[in-house]
Structure 1
Amino acid sequence: MRLTVYLAGEIHSSWREEIKKKSLALNLPVDFVGPMENHDRSDNIGEEILGEQPSAIFKDAAASSFNNLRTSVLMEKSDLVIALFGEQYKQWNTAMDASAALANHKPLIVIRPEKLHHPLKELSQKANATVETCDQAIKALSYIFE
């Protein structure tokens, strides 16, 4: 059995590479997908497809349409979602993706540091599992294959 895992969360640190590298080291039969990690491409995709927009608001709206399309397709095809809530960046997209996973009945592992326990308590109660580190998420993922 092979699983596709959607990695939801901020795109500014190397947490996805850590998850991928550790999964590969354990020979887990997993393929990973996720949001567009090239921030400039993500911000500009609307204008790349539709042409120049009249204002920053329209530019963001156009980009959001295509980013949401991409996320919807990849999440729909995934078997599991891992959503990382870090401390450094705003987490709105992560919260949206985690909520979409729940709404679409996708199994969800939430990674969040202890200090974010309180603001994420309701989400954690709905997730299938909540952990504090990428290592713990890998152990949870690995357990599926035992």
Structure 2
Amino acid sequence: MQLTVYLAGQIHDDWRQNLKDKALEKNLPVTFVGPMENHDRSDNIGEEILGKQPDNIIRDEAASQMNNLRTRVLMNQSDIVIALFGEKYKQWNSAMDAGAALATDKPLILVRPASLHHPLKELSEKAQVTVETADQALEALAYIFDEK
């Protein structure tokens, strides 16, 4: 069995690459997809496709449309979603991605520190699994393949 895992959540650190590297070390049969990790490309993609926009608000909206298209297609092709919420980079798109996973009935592993328990309690209650670290999320993912 091969699974496709959408990695949602904060984009300003290397948690995704760390998770991918550890999954490779464990020989997990997974393919990872997720949002555009090149922040400048993500911000500029609307103008790259549609051309120069008249102001920053319309520029952001054009980029958002392209990024939302990418997210929807890749999430729909995924078997499971891991959504990471951290203390340092609080982004609304993390909540949107987690909500989209639930709306499309994708299994969700929610990663959040204990300090964010209260603001994420409803989301946590709907997730299949809630953990505090990306390493714990990886262990939960690995358990799917455990035949012991």
SS in 2 for 1:28: coil
Deviations 1:33-66 (A, max 9, x none): 0000001100000000000000000000100000
SS in 2 for 1:90: coil
Residue 95 of structure 1 aligns with an amino acid whose one-letter code is A
The percent identity for this pair of structures is 72
Residue 141 of structure 2 aligns with an amino acid whose one-letter code is L
Match of 1:64 in 2: 64
Post-superposition shift, 1:103? 0.1
Post-superposition shift, 1:91? 2.2
Where structure 2 has 5 or more consecutive residues not aligned to the other structure, the ranges are none
For the residues of structure 2 that align with 1:24 and 1:122, how far apart are their CA atoms? 32
TM score, norm. by length of structure 1: 0.99
Q: Structure 1 residue runs of 4+, over 3 Å off?
A: none
Deviations 1:66-124 (A, max 9, x none): 00000000000000000000111122010000000000000000000000000000000
TM score, norm. by length of structure 2: 0.97
Deviations 1:16-35 (A, max 9, x none): 01110111111000000000
For the residues of structure 1 that align with 2:15 and 2:86, how far apart are their CA atoms? 10
For the residues of structure 1 that align with 2:57 and 2:23, how far apart are their CA atoms? 39
Are 1:133 and 2:133 matched, yes or no?
Answer: yes
SS in 2 for 1:31: strand
